[in-house]
Structure 1
């Protein structure tokens, strides 16, 4: 039966309106769940004073002349001068050059290995020369072709069919889906040692970022987890989201540095020192201020942004820092006053459901040191954007080619993607890295950093 109390009805209406108004910019809701009809989310970035485009004094970039062109085409002067002199009788005074940079015609380069076979004239024993260790089949693809196929699938997220389309268009050869799967399996096998070393290197990082996102296997929900830093990235694929997956990856249970995350309860069970993402906090404060009209949330959001930018620029004085900490506590108290505790519902088990504003204020009070750790430790960032950027690539893959056909396919993708992301962060060529895998001479990124 509906409660006849008008205040209860109004509260319920406000609650439903707030649910409808939630977006990825005002809550933990992922962007994929945003409704198309909702207005475009506002950016948290402050508007700069500079105009868009290149700035005054910016050197710019343009194509440069190559001092060693592959081909030179001389264009002769023909005909005659206006005075009647034939140009073919005149010596060249100067040459003006223009260059065209283009791709050569793409076609597979076929190398045939012919192993000599000889018969011993004394004992009549038949012997043959050894083929290279990586030439095992009668006809097979080489490391550049294999590297390109894996690059298209794991780096550009193309499904097998489209990988075949691209290779057939460029190279005139279409590998089967089974062959592509074998390439991925081989790359995964040869990167096993890299992954072991990567996990050990992550344990030495002062700050790690973590996040997770859904990833289906045969239509069933699974999860991709990421553990990353500025220089390193580790992805893991698991049917579970919680502690079982974290244990399986084998890094976080042993980690004792600062762990940056979005306040997911499972992460708090780890022994690391925790820091909370303030980008999430800013989105939640925006929701409370703009949708629920709670002024304390708007003031706290503005104060948090101000002190962050001052801290980042190195202009935050000790007095300003102390004043902010006092203001932070006072605004949280104001939030609790604006969101009084809900009374227990008669005959209802468990704790009474609290309002979003009260839950946020209580969380910030409980984890005050974790929210504000960026102010006290220079190595700790303000937000968890590093992990969100890394996990976004998995979301792009999901959007382009969907989920995985098998759990093994998910694990293959994550191990190879860990390698490519780490190479990219360190400014190394991902394509050359893939070629090195198929030559069985894996190009290893730097895994040890002096602190």
Structure 2
């Protein structure tokens, strides 16, 4: 072990082996203190000061309800202007049951032929009994022409390909239960038997999943190409298990489109395989994940992530600047909502004030958290603290952090992508993972379709049914096509007998 001369000079009378041992203990203590600090910091992480989900907080964490949101004067429940969904009587009921008294409640005599002086109506909304399965038999006749002897056969509809098969409607219902309501396969099988009296195996549901995915190929191509030309997109990623191994689920979305993709790699290799960000020239909203920054588009950073990280710094360092910066960002968010919601840019004076205050708070943080001192004789760079790294990041990427107050279309946070990715995490909690890559890719494509049609106000069950009829719904279409020509007969000629 090479001992720095500075250490040797402090112990001129000690034997070299004692000096070496002191130096060894000194380095060991430094490493242990750093490790203890890291572990204590990790132990104090929760959903309010990091990216951990609320479900990981547990039931014993104190101040569970702590939030960065400020209290408002709004009362609980629906706000003024909110469109309610109160059950109201229908002017055209399907059935009418009249309840007339038979005898007088006073004298007990018959009321037959009595005069009706008032009528009170009450309506009950209920479901009819589950329909029984309808079996339609398709028969193709082959006829011989009396003039030329040519044989002409009727062609089965395009969706009738097997001697026995399930129809598009029951396929849509099963896909709806499994991929939208996230009912496990076994319970979906039970639901199908309980509702319709039909026994469908879990293997059949897997086949339906792959079949639906194949029919959504036009949708996938459309959404991938459309996202490349959007003015602003949201990006996020999370880990999933496929074949027992860690894979990565990437989401790219807008308020109208959602695109999921399963990749073996998390970084640029996986992103390039998706093919959206490499060609994207607009604004990408995301956290500070480094691979996103490798692409030449404009970057805007999630304010919610920054607020949680600042709260962590405030709790660990007890310094004042993180709290002040949190208040400044929240104030900037409120100013944006006040001006941009009306389509008006923020006044330059106010913009300059926000920028100046931001710079001052970052500088205060840098002064209170200087870079670590390089230890003499120690190889490599000394590791920076989380606080120092955050400050340098906020200083370097200031334009992306404050882009939301400069551009009308840029939101404060990346909640749109996080909401989309949360539904796939629900899927993972139910299934635990995917047994094979092909099924994982099929499910992500189906979820892309379902998320997109929900954003566009389309009924999920009908859009899935339309996809099974080879006509997936795509934003921009006025309506889904009909299939009046499904029974079209195509003739084929054979040679004379």
Please report the TM-score for the alignment, with normalisation by the length of structure 1.
0.91
Q: CA deviation at 1:162?
A: 2.0
More moved, 305-314 vs 55-64: 55-64
Residue 12 of structure 1: how far off its partner (Å): 5.9
CA separation in 2, counterparts of 1:438 and 1:239?
29
Residues of 2 paired with 1:70 and 1:109: CA distance?
23
Q: What do residues 122-151 of structure 1 show as CA deviations (whole Å, max 9, x unaligned)?
A: 599876543322122233222121111111
1:407/1:8 CA distance change after superposition, 3 Å: closer
Distance 1:5 1:139 in 2: 73
**Residue among 269, 273, 284 paired with 1:244:** 269
Shift of 1:193: 0.9
Does the CA contact (< 8 Å) of 1:197 and 1:447 recur in 2?
no
Q: Identify the range of structure 1 (111-120 vs 128-137) with the bigger mean alpha-carbon deviation.
A: 111-120
| Structure of greater Rg | 2
- Counterpart of 1:43 in structure 2 is 67
CA deviations 1:236-280 (Å, max 9, x no partner) are: 011111111111111110000001110111001111111111111
Return 5+ residue gaps in structure 2 as ranges: 1-23, 341-345, 479-497
Q: Equivalent of 1:337, from 361, 367, 370?
A: 367
Name the counterpart of 1:200.
Answer: 225
- Distance, in Å, in 2 between the alignment partners of 1:58 and 1:198 is 32
Structure 2 equivalent of residue 381 of structure 1: 411
Q: What displacement does 1:379 show?
A: 1.1
Deviation at 1:121, TM superposition (A): 9.1
Query: How far did residue 420 of structure 1 move?
Result: 0.7
| Pair 1:121–1:395, CA change in 2 (3 A) | closer
Secondary structure of 2:238's counterpart equals strand
Corresponding residue for residue 395 of structure 1: 425
Query: Per-residue CA shift, 1:369-403, capped at 9, x if unaligned?
Result: 11111121111111111111111111111112211
| Equivalent residue number for residue 297 of structure 1 | 322
Does the 8 A contact of 2:140 with 2:156 survive in 1? no
Residue-pair matches, total: 448
Q: CA 1:367/1:217 → structure 2, altered by over 3 Å: closer, same or farther?
A: same
Instruction: Specify the alignment match of 1:355 in structure 2.
Output: 385
Q: Matched residues in 1 for 2:477 and 2:463: separation? A: 15
SS of 1:414's equivalent in the other structure is helix
Contact 1:157 1:401 in 2 (8 A): no
Aligned match of 2:258: 233
Q: TM-score, normalised by structure 2?
A: 0.83
User: Which of 77, 92, 100 is equivalent to 1:53?
Assistant: 77
Question: What corresponds to 1:323 in structure 2?
Answer: 353
CA distance in 2, matches of 1:146, 1:32: 34
Instruction: Verify: 1:16 aligned to 2:39, yes or no.
Output: yes
Cα distance in 2 for partners of 1:41, 1:56 equals 26
Identify the range of structure 1 (263-272 vs 86-95) with the bigger mean alpha-carbon deviation. Answer: 86-95
Q: Larger deviation: 358-367 or 24-33?
A: 24-33
Give 5+ residue unaligned stretches, structure 1.
none
Alpha-carbon distance in 1 for matches of 2:384, 2:90? 67
Residues 272 and 278 in structure 2, CA contact (< 8 A), matched pair in contact too = yes
Q: 1:56 to 1:298 in 2, by over 3 A?
A: closer
- State the distance in 2 between where 1:84 and 1:159 align: 59
The match for 1:216 is: 241
The Cα of 1:408 is off from its aligned counterpart by 0.6
